[in-house]
Amino acid sequence: GIDQLLEPPDLGARCDRFEPQPLQMTCSICGLEPPCPRGSREQGSPETCWRHYSKFWTTPLHSISMRGAYWIPSSFWNRNHMSRGCHRNCVTTVWKPSCCPGHYGINCHACPGGPRSPCSDHGVCLDGIRGSGQCNCHPGFAGTACELCAPGAFGPQCQACRCTQHGRCDEGLGGSGSCFCDEGWTGARCEVQLELQ
């Protein structure tokens, strides 16, 4: 219908989602923690934290969450300047742009091989918003979309050729895996040296 004509071609490639994101809350007196900001919600119970006080002020000049990995000068640990406090665990919901599986890049292009069989089902596509779309092919496969057999592999499953170094393999997707032996060699794998008379 008309809806499909107006729909952007890459719309089906996007799988944006909403994720909770924690907010950094101020360390306050336990039991008197300020409420979560408008548009956010409380998750779990308040946590303990350390508050830095000055002799001349009754409000915190600096608060340090125990959750964060902060460098704290040893002078801050002076009992005259630090006191235990609490802060609420508040979270907000943020929109996170994402690509559906089998799509990559900021515009969510289809991975090589197409979204239904990325990398021709013979490899792994580096997909996602930050992905490059490159295929890491399974052993035996090669090509931009892992659509070819790597050198030394044959058949639809690109299995390894078993010829010795004295023969050449009928390789590739349509190859039989048969070994064509060098002069003076024979056997299914070119493993038998002929004795010259």
Tell me the one-letter amino acid at 42.
E
Is 47:87 a contact under the CB 8 Å cutoff? yes
Give the range with max mean pLDDT: 30-44, 47-61, 118-132: 118-132
What's the pLDDT tens digit per position in 115-151? 889 999 999 999 999 999 999 999 999 999 999 999 9
CA dihedral 109, 115, 118, 124 (to 10 degrees): 70
pLDDT band for 60, please (50, 70, 90 cuts): very low
| Range name among 26-30, 56-60, 147-151 with the lowest pLDDT average | 56-60
Compute the distance between CA of residue 27 and CA of residue 46 in angstroms, rounded to an integer: 10
What gap in Å lies between CA 128 and CA 16, rounded to an integer?
Answer: 11
Alpha helices in the chain (DSSP H): 2-6
Say which amino acid occupies 30.
C
Q: What is the mean pLDDT of the chain?
A: 83
State pLDDT tens for residues 168-196. Answer: 999 999 999 999 999 999 999 999 999 87
Report pLDDT for 53. Answer: 62
Q: Which residue ranges form the domains of the chain, and what is each CATH number? A: 1-16+100-144 (no CATH), 17-94 (no CATH), 151-197 (2.10.25)
* pLDDT score for 195: 86
In the prediction, which pLDDT does 136 show? Answer: 98
- For residue 94, what are the β-bridge partners? 19
Whole-prediction pTM: 0.61
